[in-house]
Amino acid sequence: MFRKAIYPGSFDPATLGHLDMIERASGIFDEVVVGVGINRAKRGLLLPEERVEALAAATARLENVTVAGFDGLLVDFVRERGSHCIVRGLRATADFEYEFQMAMVNRRLAAEVETVFLMTSWEHSYLSSTLVREVALLGGDVGGMVPRETLPFLLRAVARRREETRDGSQ
C-alpha cells in the first residue's frame, strides 16, 4: 500500500533536527511532503518563500521528499495532498503535551488523519528553531545547527533584520 506522509512545521529556520526527521521519515514512507506552514499573522525571520527554498535545497538528494508551503488548517493540506498521515517529532516530554493536543484537535477535525510521532535523535534533541534564531540574531555560529543549504538563507535573513532595526523600520 502506498503511504504518503506530511511533515509540517514553520521551519524558521529548519534545523539539523528537522532534517534528521525528514530523512528518517523518508525511509519509512513512500513519499514525504514537507509542509511549510505560512502564518501571515506572525512575522518570521525567514520569508515563507525562503523557508521553502532552503528546505528544498536541503532535501534535494531525497528522491521521495517534496517541499510545499501551505496556509490554513494542516488537515486541509493533508487532504489536498492525498495523505492520511502527519509525522511529528518529539524532543522531550515538554513537546509531548503540545503535540498530543494538536494530534487530538487534528483527529477531531479529520478522523481519517493519523499522527505518527518519531523521537528526535539524541544529538539533535536540544535544537529548536527558536534557539537557532536567537543565536543567529546575536551573532553566534549556527553552522553546526542548521543544514548547510539553509545557512545562506539564514544569514541573509539576519542581515535583513539588522538592517530593518538599524533603519528603525521594525
Task: Please pick, among 40, 42, 43, 108, the residue that the annotation labels catalytic.
Answer: 42
Q: Cis link prior to 8 (omega < 30° from 0)?
A: no
For the chain, the straight-line distance linking the first and the last C-alpha, in angstroms and rounded, comes to 50
Owner of C-alpha cell 514537507? 34
Q: Which of 88, 124, 129, 133 is catalytic?
A: 129
Q: Active-site residue 40, yes or no?
A: no
Which residue among the candidates 18, 24, 51, 133 is catalytic per the annotation? 18
Considering 24, 91, 124, 133, which one is annotated as catalytic? Answer: 91
**Residue 18 known to be catalytic:** yes
d(CA 51, CA 73): 19
Quick one: which of 158, 164, 161, 162 has its CA closest to 146? 158
129 is catalytic: yes
- Active-site amino acid positions: 18, 42, 91, 129
